[in-house]
Chains A and B, each alone.
Chain A
Amino acid sequence: DQQVKQNSPSLSVQEGRISILNCDYTNSMFDYFLWYKKYPAEGPTFLISISSIKDKNEDGRFTVFLNKSAKHLSLHIVPSQPGDSAVYFCAASASGTYKYIFGTGTRLKVLA
């Protein structure tokens, strides 16, 4: 039972354009959501987060949007750069559970 889903295994975007990565979840108890970026043979690194009391959080080129009614979040990267090419994981957590549930990841390729 996959509680966090990333239905697009891969995405290719031209440099300078917007990248949109999507994530869906099923557990209405989730109230913290994170995005991680992962390069091959390395551990994931934290990118951006959002809590359920907000619907948008922005950090430089990265913006995360949360639609609680649809149980959907998305990560926007604009403008996309070749260095953004990596696997992106979304993760969700419910308060008090001590753990994050991760999606299966989306491989982003930014073409120069």
Chain B
Amino acid sequence: SQTIHQWPATLVQPVGSPLSLECTVEGTSNPNLYWYRQAAGRGLQLLFYSVGIGQISSEVPQNLSASRPQDRQFILSSKKLLLSDSGFYLCAWSDGQGGLYGYTFGSGTRLTVV
């Protein structure tokens, strides 16, 4: 069966520090991968998605970047964190265009920038 792993679960980082969040999927190949952020009052905002190795689509201009160095690995990064980067970050995967089955989400990372 397919599983998605996301870590760390919580992270407290000072303003201006770098960030690296990692997500891996097991039990499938060539998944579509996604990074979402849940901020207070903003729902789930799509940040990046990838339909293949090295293919990254950015949804909103921001202080973050994403990379997909391997088929089932998706990384969210920042060179210098801002206070506004605080939030709950979710990785997700799907095996196609989503359709009626949507995504499977990871357990999330709570990022607090201080």
- The closest CB in chain A to the CB of B32 belongs to A98
Partner of A104, one of B34, B42, B110: B42
B101/A102 in contact, CB under 8 A: no
Chain A interface size band reads 20 to 34
A104 to B107, CA, bound (A): 19
Chain B interface size band reads 20 to 34
Interface string of B1-43 (1 = CB under 8 A from A): 0000010010000000000000000000000101010000111
The verdict on B90 contacting chain A, using a C-beta distance below 8 Å, is: yes
**Chain A residues within an 8 Å CB radius of B41:** 9, 104
The verdict on A78 contacting chain B, using a C-beta distance below 8 Å, is: no
A44/B44 in contact, CB under 8 A: yes
Interface string of B31-61 (1 = CB under 8 A from A): 0101010000111111001010000000100
Smallest CB–CB gap between B44 and chain A, Å? 4
Given A49-B102, A98-B49, A102-B44, answer yes or no on A43-B108 (Cβ-Cβ < 8 Å): yes
Q: Which of A11-19, A68-76, A87-95 faces chain B?
A: A87-95
**Chain A residues within an 8 Å CB radius of B92:** 43
- Indicate the member of B98, B101, B106 with the most A CB atoms within 10 Å: B98
A-B pairs with beta carbons under 8 Å apart, 8 shown: A43-B90, A44-B90, A44-B105, A93-B102, A97-B97, A98-B32, A99-B46, A100-B102
In the A-B complex, the 8 residue pairs with the closest CB atoms: A43-B105, A104-B43, A102-B44, A49-B100, A34-B102, A43-B107, A43-B108, A44-B105
